[in-house]
Structure 1
Amino acid sequence: MLSESVRRHREAAPESVRVAVLTISDTRTPETDTGGDTIRRLLQEAGHEIAGSAIVKDEAEQIEARLDEFLADPGVDAVITTGGTGISARDTTYEVVSRKLDKVLDGFGELFRVLSYEEVGAAAILSRATAGSAGGKFLACLPGSANAVRLAMEKLLVPEIAHVVFELKRHR
């Protein structure tokens, strides 16, 4: 059951937000980008607009450059990344995104890992999914697995993304 405050804020939130999707992978192509495809499909089904989409290699400079473009675009309200959140030497997304975040939404990563634990058990500790505000825009960082993306989108982002964007724009 939602509190009265949350209900009012959700009602005031826009029906649609403009989201850029960034896939980080050394191997994904437009044809094999299952994580990015899942994000785009679920957002569009919920009535949101895809403001941009790209695939970059898991290279910090490439990730940062594309994030900077999306975050600077006045036609983008939020950016969702997929991939590069693990702990292998090639996984650099978390480090790049962490430097961009002005305010971290700790609950996002915590809740995502709880939900992941219910599906994959202790392997959930390997995820460094995170989210927060970056330059007044919402930035969420998801794993590359289509199942993990689906979980985060259905349980956390689709229900709240418009509310988060509303809160970020409210006092600007």
Structure 2
Amino acid sequence: MSRIDDTRDFIAVRIAVLTVSDTRTPQEDRSGDLLVERIEGAGHILSTRDIVTDDRDLIAAKLRMWCGDETIDVIVTTGGTGLTGRDVTVEAHRDVYEKEIDAFATVFTHVSMAKIGTSAVQSRACGGVAEGTYLFALPGSPGACRDAWDEILAYQLDFRHQPCNFVEIMPRLEEHLRRK
């Protein structure tokens, strides 16, 4: 069973938050605000934060730029994971991923089912890795962001979480580049 090993030191990771929306402004970005609160409350570092419109190319360009930034370890996006025509965040993420973390979507769906029942099928939350950076696409609702952070990311981004976590393998995400 999972647990926090208090004999290990906490390691803060540097996290960027990107809100994807055609209508939200910094003053109205409740999901982004919630993620920032959770990130900083957990002891992590907010590297940067931005809002971009629902445009696949713009989203992917921002993700690529942030993946190339050595001050960012993790990117969390909120918004654009639904089924409507403007929901293109998942496609933008997949344009960038080198590897997809398939189980993230599965676990998010499981968590969501406990909260919203079968409505969970309408989310396309996803996760992946690119350029040694973790990327997670969350729905745009504050409740979904809270669930994803509190029940998945808070643990997987905590080095003390056992039996394993994302932080402990961060140094190995680009080991394929060191091979000759």
TM-score scaled to structure 1, two decimals?
Answer: 0.90
Which of 129, 135, 140 is residue 133 of structure 1 equivalent to?
Answer: 129
Q: How far is 1:42 from its partner?
A: 0.3
SS in 1 for 2:27: coil
The corresponding residue for 1:89 is 85
How do 1:17-166 residues align onto structure 2 when only pairs under 5 Å count?
17-162=13-158, 163-166=165-168
Structure 1: distance between partners of 2:138 and 2:169: 21
Structure 2: distance between partners of 1:96 and 1:68: 10
Give the conservation status (yes or no) of the 8 Å contact 1:51–1:76: yes
Give the conservation status (yes or no) of the 8 Å contact 1:138–1:165: no
Structure 2: distance between partners of 1:60 and 1:170: 29
Structure 2: distance between partners of 1:2 and 1:128: 25
SS in 2 for 1:11: coil
Structure 1: distance between partners of 2:113 and 2:62: 31
Structure 1: distance between partners of 2:100 and 2:94: 8
Give the conservation status (yes or no) of the 8 Å contact 1:77–1:165: no
Show structure 1 runs of 4+ deviating over 4 A: none
Unaligned runs of 5+ in 1: none
TM-score scaled to structure 2, two decimals?
Answer: 0.87
SS in 2 for 1:51: strand
Q: How many residues align?
A: 168
Percent of pairs identical after alignment?
36
Aligned amino acid, residue 30 of structure 1: P
The corresponding residue for 1:2 is 2
Post-superposition Cα deviations, 1:131-156, rounded to whole Å, max 9, x if no partner, equal 12111111111000000000000000
Aligned amino acid, residue 34 of structure 2: T
Aligned amino acid, residue 135 of structure 1: E
Give the conservation status (yes or no) of the 8 Å contact 2:75–2:134: yes
Unaligned runs of 5+ in 2: 159-164, 176-180
SS in 1 for 2:65: helix
SS in 2 for 1:138: strand
Q: How far is 1:7 from its partner?
A: 5.5
Greater shift in the superposed pair: 160-169 or 147-156 = 160-169
Question: Quick check: which one's helix share is greater?
Answer: 1
Give the conservation status (yes or no) of the 8 Å contact 2:60–2:95: no
Structure 1: distance between partners of 2:102 and 2:62: 24
